[in-house]
Amino acid sequence: MSDEGIGDRVSSLRLSRRDLLRAGALGAAGLGMATGARALKPKQAYTQQDGGPPVGHEMHGANVAVGTLRPGGFDPTAYLDRFDYGVVSTLPNGQTQRQYHIVATDQEIEVAPGIFFPAWTYNGQVPGPTLRCTEGDRLRVTFVNSGSHPHTIHFHGIHAANMDGVFEVVDPGKTFTYEFDAEPFGLQLYHCHAIPLKRHIHKGLYGTFIIDPKAGRPPAKEMVMMMNGFDTNFDGDNEVYAVNTVGFHYQDHPIELKVGELNRIYLVNMTEFDLINSFHLHGNFFRVYRTGTDLERFEWTDNVVLGQGERCVLEFTFKFPGRFMFHAHQSEFAELGWMGMFDVKGALNA
């Protein structure tokens, strides 16, 4: 490309970044979430001036979120391997007990720089905290509903009917304690089951729930990835897609991996409104352990498709150093935020 061509591209990007920041600021001021959401759409990145027509050329694979997140908010990078093991004690019968405390609140969250969404949260974040335990542990989860609507926590797993978080709806200001043994081992999840379910889930009431096998899994760099989306203008369709809530976060902040090191992703799909979501890895293949409930049987592929509520454990090792994309293989989702990058360090592992 000639210098002139590069100059054109740079100046159009610079213009677009100002435009996008302005759009984001509008969103931040609560004047137009839909306006803010458009900041994620690729065509907006190539507008010559305010309201002007798109520039004649496109730049593929260069969709961006512009600006930075408000300090002090949810950090998707920290969320990757932040596990809540609860308050641990031993019961008289020798069983390990883990006590968790979860509070539902109404809280505005940032789903892309300057784009805010009025969420309902578990412990002030979307997704909620990743609860982690070992198969056979006794779990006691105290749930306080400090939100404005009735909620519950419905855990996936094997437990009694009255611990299922469906019929025992917890009204605002009320408390409920769920108590059950952790089984089976695998990658579970939890979410609100109050009705209308679609609304309570898309507002953000869900989280990952890992039950480790008693002997554990092989040592690895572990990452929790919740595929989700946000309907920022409430038209029944998502405007922003992500893993772990913030569109394009891991593109702007690549996840560092090492050549030859085992990586493990706990992948969960809680995307509302769309029938499926998917995870595709570049330059590599991974093992897929469906629901994480079997340590032996797996599928060897580079793309896995999940319906809502489905999850799987992915394991892979990089042979080559460099930057490798991971993203939804639905191009629309990828362009609206569900796009990330691994930055693999080290020498070729021949």
**Residue ranges binding Cu ion (CB under 5 A):** 151, 192, 194, 200, 205
Contacts of 344 (CB under 8 A, 6+ apart): 256, 257, 258, 259, 318, 320, 321, 322, 323, 324
Residue with Cβ nearer Cu ion (149 or 217): 149
| Least distance in angstroms from the C-beta of 148 to Cu ion | 10
Residue with Cβ nearer Cu ion (194 or 281): 194
| Least distance in angstroms from the C-beta of 319 to Cu ion | 44
In degrees rounded to 5, what are phi and psi of residue 300? -115, 105
CB 126 within 8 A of CB 204: yes
Nearest in space to 237 (alpha carbons), one of 332, 150, 121:
332
| Least distance in angstroms from the C-beta of 103 to Cu ion | 13
| Least distance in angstroms from the C-beta of 267 to Cu ion | 24
Contacts of 292 (CB under 8 A, 6+ apart): 185, 186, 187, 210, 266, 311, 312, 313
Contacts of 275 (CB under 8 A, 6+ apart): 307, 308
Residue with Cβ nearer Cu ion (119 or 205): 205
CB 30 within 8 A of CB 80: no
| Least distance in angstroms from the C-beta of 212 to Cu ion | 28
In what helix (H) or strand (E) does residue 17 lie, and over which residues does it extend?
Answer: helix 3-28
Residue with Cβ nearer Cu ion (155 or 289): 155
Residue with Cβ nearer Cu ion (169 or 305): 169
| Least distance in angstroms from the C-beta of 86 to Cu ion | 22
Residue with Cβ nearer Cu ion (148 or 162): 148
Q: How many other C-beta atoms lie within 10 A of the C-beta of residue 246?
A: 29
